[in-house]
């Protein structure tokens, strides 16, 4: 079990993190660049000292700022950190890199090399490896070091989508198999959803929402969280849908269908101001009264008026927080 | 000048003594540089020293000042009437006209070349590797031995080779505080003064022969290490 409750001073804003990760559980810290995600990992790894708080890993106190003060050095923490640059030692061949921590047997090395599909590379130098191979070797090195937790700092961000997916699946499988708590940091929602059992949304050093990945996307706790998880507009909501009434429905571009069908969600009618191809469909910019939003449609929308249905959208009150189901109707009347 | 002329010029009684003195003092200088200046270079590269700009300014002064001036400064620093000189005198040693003085002069002339080169070599090692080695369980000393040193080694070897060439050919500071015992540069100077250019040339050739192999070996080794790293 990894348990973190810390406050870290940074030049721009303090980072506050409270997190518990069970053995074998996978948590993703998701947020924009500069939100403090990497800082959280570096504090857990012992590379940055917190101003206040504590960290425990499998019952071992790694950091405590209250008496008795504890600050276990990084080399004694047994924490594995994989960054975007896998950091293979360039002067050592793959085998020596894998066995760097010297805590594993040859049989374990052979089995893991087979699992990671790097058997043929053991005598190669890191400079000869492709991006994906380097990440596999770096991952193997952490696993052979028998780390008690796995911290992943956007490790596959520079790889293509297919490779990223296969490596993410591999890490998921290995961390579950070894019952290691894992924390992934990313600013790509798709990566976070593909990896995690639990998603934590982080912005300007604050944990805004924690929950199952689908729950966070479908029911963002606030307008800010909604913006971060991909909502591309907010339209006035409530029975009269009066502008300025204070209640707004979030528009997620993937949860919009053309046509007015009030039984499936909230109907919005507006004017298409621009349309462009997006993936297998089209993306349209729509203006509805004072509000503007972007949505994805299966076919090119006709210029002019357009009615769409927002499928079961989240509603936000005047203060920007999520309203309970049905509450937007009461709020609209108010 | 034929090989016979060179041989006869160098086989007189005591003619090989300057060579021996230069090689021994050069090796002692390298020892001092490796032991004292390697940690200093690492600390400068990793900003672990207080007032780093002051240290760098000191090194640049030693690099840019004419060696003769360094010799004069050394007289004021380790001469017989200084407190260092007093301590040395108490230990029945002297830092003027002795082998120790020769080593001190060579260290002062070559240290800036080694420290600045080694600092660049250490600065070129990405701290991410050191961090990663630490996270894999290595304490700082082991990280230095297993990661930092091997990665900086080609740059360190080249810096050491340059320092060796500077030390073995040191003359300006040497002529001020270590006129005796004669190393090869001093022997060249004295022979030139006393018997002319023709007699001094064999010593110049000797200086070249003992000064060049180390830089050459360092260059070849560095190139090989780089090739091996590239796979």
State whether residue B114 is helix, strand or coil: helix
Asked if pLDDT for residue B195 goes beyond 50, the answer is: yes
Domain with CATH 3.40.50.300 in chain A: 2-218
How far apart (Å, rounded) are the C-alpha atoms in residues A244 and A267? 18
Q: Does B228 touch chain A (CB under 8 A)?
A: yes
Of A73, A87, A127, the CB nearest to B132: A87
Of B134, B228, B229, the CB nearest to A75: B134
State the CB neighbour count (10 A cutoff) for residue A59.
7
Instruction: For residues A288-293, give the mean pLDDT.
Output: 88
pLDDT per residue as tens digits for the range A296-306: 999 998 888 88
Residue of A nearest to B129 (CA): A87
Residue A75 has its nearest CB partner, among B137, B150, B228, at B137
The percentage of residues in chain A with a pLDDT greater than 90, rounded to a whole number, is 61
Q: How far is A16 from chain B (nearest CA, A)?
A: 23
Q: What is the CA radius of gyration of chain A?
A: 24
Cβ-Cβ contacts under 8 Å, B228 against chain A? 91, 125
- List CB contacts (< 8 A) between B157 and chain A: none
Shortest Cα–Cα distance, B140 to chain A (Å)? 8
The reply to whether residue A101 touches residue B129, judged by beta carbons under 8 angstroms, is no
Which of A43, A88, A89 best tests the B interface by mutation, with the highest count of B CBs <10 A? A89
Mean pLDDT of A34-39: 92
Q: What is the mean pLDDT of residues A301-325?
A: 88
Do residue A83 and residue B136 have CB atoms under 8 angstroms apart?
no
Token digits for A44? 């857990």
Mind listing the pLDDT tens digit for each residue in B151-172? 999 999 999 999 999 999 999 9
Per the CB < 8 Å rule, is A103 touching B137?
Answer: yes
Residues of B in contact with A76 (CB under 8 A): 137
Among B residues 19-38, those touching chain A with beta carbons less than 8 Å apart:
none
The predicted pLDDT at position A282 comes to 92
Q: How far is B215 from chain A (nearest CA, A)?
A: 22
CB B136 within 8 A of CB A88: no
Give the mean model confidence (pLDDT) for residues B143-149.
95
B10: pLDDT strictly greater than 80: no
- Which phi and psi (to 5°) does residue A45 adopt? -75, -10
Residue pLDDT, tens place only, A255-288: 999 988 888 889 999 999 999 999 889 999 999 8
Tell me the C-alpha distance between B148 and B143, whole Å: 7
Q: Do B230 and A127 touch (CB under 8 A)?
A: yes
User: Is B17's Cβ below 8 Å from some Cβ in A?
Assistant: no
Identify all chain B residues contacting A103, using CB atoms and an 8 Å cutoff.
Answer: 137
Task: Collect all residues of chain A within an 8 Å Cβ-Cβ radius of residue B137.
Answer: 75-76, 78, 101, 103, 145
Q: Which residues from chain A sit within 8 angstroms of residue B151, using beta carbons?
A: 89-91
Q: What is the ipTM of this complex?
A: 0.83
Interface contact A91-B151, CB threshold 8 A: yes
Contacts of A100 in chain B (CB under 8 A): 133, 136
Q: Are strands A182-186 and A149-153 parallel, antiparallel or unpaired?
A: parallel
Q: Quote the minimal CA–CA distance from A114 to chain B in Å.
A: 22
A127 at interface of B, judged by CB pairs closer than 8 A: yes
**Residue B96 and residue B47 in contact, taking contact as beta carbons nearer than 8 Å:** no
The answer to whether the CB atoms of B229 and A90 lie below 8 A apart is yes
pLDDT of residue A220: 95
**Token pair listed for A254:** 């993937």
| Closest among A145, A135, A144 to A165, alpha carbons compared | A135
Which residues have CB under 8 Å from A297's CB, separation 6+? A256, A258, A281, A282, A283, A284, A308
**pLDDT reported for residue B142:** 94
pLDDT at A334: 36
Whether residue B38 has pLDDT greater than 80: yes
> Hey, what are B201's tokens?
């040339």
User: How high is the pLDDT of residue B111?
Assistant: 95
Over range A183-190, report the average pLDDT: 92
Relative to beta strand A182-186, strand A26-30 is parallel
Q: How far is A58 from chain B (nearest CA, A)?
A: 17
- Write down the pLDDT at residue A98: 94
A66: buried, middle or exposed (CB in 10 Å: 19+, 13-18, 0-12)?
exposed
Give the whole-angstrom CA distance, residue B94 versus residue B111. Answer: 21
Q: What is the mean pLDDT of chain A?
A: 89
Which residue in B has a C-alpha nearest to residue A44's C-alpha?
A: B135
Chain A CB contacts of B134 below 8 Å: 73-75
Beta strands in chain A (DSSP E): 2-8, 15-21, 26-30, 52-57, 60-64, 70-71, 79-82, 149-153, 182-186, 198-203, 206-211, 234-236, 248-250, 256-258, 265-278, 281-288, 291-297, 304-311, 315-316
Give the rounded percent of residues in chain A with a pLDDT score beyond 70. 94
SS3 A308: strand
Question: What confidence category does residue B12 fall into, taking pLDDT thresholds of 50, 70 and 90?
Answer: low
Instruction: Output the CA–CA distances (angstroms, integers) from residue B106 to A32, B69, B167, in the order listed.
Output: 57, 14, 5
Q: Where are the domains of chain B?
A: 17-229
Which residue of chain A is at minimal alpha-carbon distance from B132? A87
If one compares A246 and A67, the residue with the highest pLDDT of the two is A67
CA dist., res. B47 & res. A216, Å (int) = 44
**What's the whole-number mean pLDDT along residues B123-141?**
94
Mean pLDDT of chain B: 90
B17-229: CATH superfamily: MetI-like (1.10.3720.10)
3-state SS track over A31-64: CCCCCCHHHHHHHHHCCCCCCEEEEEECCEEEEE
Q: What share of chain A is helix, strand, coil (3-state, %, to 5)?
A: 30, 35, 40
How does residue B13 score in pLDDT terms, banded at 50, 70 and 90?
low
Counted across chains A and B, CB pairs separated by less than 8 A come out at 63
Whole-number pLDDT of residue A48: 93
Say if residue B181 is preceded by a cis peptide, omega within 30 of 0.
Answer: yes
Q: What 8-state DSSP symbol labels residue A321?
A: B
pLDDT at A251: 92
Q: Which residue from B126, B129, B135 is facing A79, i.e. has the nearest CB?
A: B135
The first and second tokens of residue B208, run together, are: 């070249």
Q: What is the CATH number of domain A2-218?
A: 3.40.50.300
Encode pLDDT of B101-128 as tens digits.
Answer: 999 999 999 999 999 999 999 999 999 9
The tens digit of pLDDT for each residue in A175-184 reads 888 899 999 9
pLDDT band at B9 (very low <50, low <70, confident <90, very high): low
Whether chain A has a CB inside 8 Å of the CB on B230: the answer is yes
Q: Which of A90, A91, A101 sits opposite B137 (nearest CB)?
A: A101
SS3 A212: coil
CB B132 to CB A81 under 8 A? yes
Query: How far is residue A257 from each of residues A166, A254, A270, A298, measured CA to CA in Å?
Result: 31, 8, 14, 8
Between CA A141 and CA A235 the distance in angstroms is: 50
Express each pLDDT in A88-139 by its tens digit: 999 999 999 999 987 667 788 898 888 888 999 999 999 999 988 999 999 8
pLDDT tens by residue, B24-37: 999 999 999 999 99
Share of chain B above pLDDT 90, in %: 61
Taking the CA atoms of B141, B142, B145 and B149 in sequence, report the sign of the dihedral they define.
negative
Rounded Cα distance, A73 and A102, in Å: 19
**Cα dihedral B79→B81→B83→B89 (10° resolution):** 80
- pLDDT (tens digit per residue) in B169-187: 999 999 999 988 889 999 9
Give A135-160 as a 3 state SS string.
HHHHHHHHHHCCCCEEEEECCCCCCC
Which residues on A lie below 8 Å from B139 (Cβ)?
73, 75
How many alpha carbons lie under 13 Å from residue B110 in its C-beta half-sphere?
Answer: 32
CATH of A224-333, one of 2.40.50.140, 3.40.50.300, 3.40.50.2300, 3.40.50.720: 2.40.50.140
Residues of chain A with CATH 2.40.50.140: 224-333
DSSP track, B116-183: HHHHHHHHTS-HHHHHHHHHTT--HHHHIIIIIHHHHHHHHHHHHHHHHHHHHT--HHHHHH--SS--
Quote the percentage of chain B above a pLDDT of 70.
97
Q: What pLDDT score was predicted for residue A202?
A: 94
């Amino acid at each position: 079990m990894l348990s973190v409750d810390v406050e870290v001073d940074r030049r721009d804003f303090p980072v506050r993190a409270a997190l518990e990760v069970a053995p074998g559980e996978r948590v993703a810290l998701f947020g924009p660049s500069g939100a403090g995600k990497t800082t959280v990992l570096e504090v857990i790894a012992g590379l940055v000292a917190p101003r206040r708080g504590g960290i425990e890993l499998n019952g071992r106190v790694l950091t405590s700022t209250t008496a008795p003060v504890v600050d276990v050095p990084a080399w004694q923490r047994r924490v594995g950190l994989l960054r975007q640059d896998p950091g293979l030692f360039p002067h050592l061949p793959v085998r020596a890199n894998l066995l760097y921590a010297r805590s594993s047997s040859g049989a374990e090395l052979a089995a893991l090399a087979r699992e990671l599909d790097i058997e043929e590379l053991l005598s190669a130098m890191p400079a000869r490896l492709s991006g994906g191979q380097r990440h596999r070797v770096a991952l193997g090195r952490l696993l052979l070091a028998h780390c008690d937790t796995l911290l992943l700092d956007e490790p596959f961000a520079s790889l293509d989508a297919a490779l990223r997916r296969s490596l993410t699946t591999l890490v998921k499988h290995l961390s579950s198999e070894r019952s290691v708590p894992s924390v992934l940091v990313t600013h790509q929602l798709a990566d976070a959803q593909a990896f995690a059992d639990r998603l934590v949304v982080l912005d300007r050093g604050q944990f805004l929402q924690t929950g199952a990945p689908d729950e966070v996307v479908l029911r963002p706790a606030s307008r800010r969280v909604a913006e971060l998880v991909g909502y591309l507009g907010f339209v006035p909501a409530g029975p009269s849908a009066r502008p300025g009434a204070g209640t707004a429905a979030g528009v997620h571009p993937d949860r919009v269908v053309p046509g007015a069908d009030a039984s499936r969600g909230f109907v919005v009618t507006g004017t298409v101001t621009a349309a462009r191809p997006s993936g297998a469909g089209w993306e349209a910019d729509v203006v509805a009264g004072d509000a503007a939003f972007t949505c994805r449609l299966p076919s090119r929308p006709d210029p002019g008026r357009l009615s769409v249905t927002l499928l079961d959208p989240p509603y936000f009150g005047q203060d920007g927080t999520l309203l309970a189901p049905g509450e937007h109707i009461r709020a609209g009347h108010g | 000048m034929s090989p016979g002329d060179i041989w006869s010029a160098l086989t007189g009684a005591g003619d090989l003594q300057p060579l021996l003195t230069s090689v021994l003092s050069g090796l002692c200088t390298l020892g001092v540089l490796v032991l004292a200046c390697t940690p200093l270079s690492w600390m400068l590269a990793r900003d672990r020293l207080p007032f780093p700009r002051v240290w760098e300014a000191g090194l640049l002064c030693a690099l840019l000042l004419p060696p003769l001036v360094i010799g004069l400064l050394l007289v004021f620093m380790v001469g017989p009437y200084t407190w260092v000189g007093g301590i040395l005198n108490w230990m029945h040693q002297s830092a003027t006209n002795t082998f120790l003085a020769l080593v001190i002069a060579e260290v002062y002339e070559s240290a800036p070349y080694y420290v600045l080169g080694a600092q660049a070599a250490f600065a070129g090692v990405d701290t991410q590797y050191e961090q990663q080695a630490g996270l894999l369980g290595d304490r700082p000393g082991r990280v230095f031995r297993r990661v930092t040193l091997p990665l900086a080694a080609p740059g360190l070897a080249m810096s050491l080779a340059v320092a060796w060439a500077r030390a073995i050919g040191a003359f300006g500071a040497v002529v001020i505080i270590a006129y005796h015992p004669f190393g090869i540069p001093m022997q060249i100077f004295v022979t030139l003064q006393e018997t002319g250019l023709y007699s001094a040339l064999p010593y110049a050739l000797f200086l070249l022969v003992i000064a060049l192999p180390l830089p050459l070996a360092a260059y070849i080794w560095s190139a090989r290490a780089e090739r091996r790293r590239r796979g």
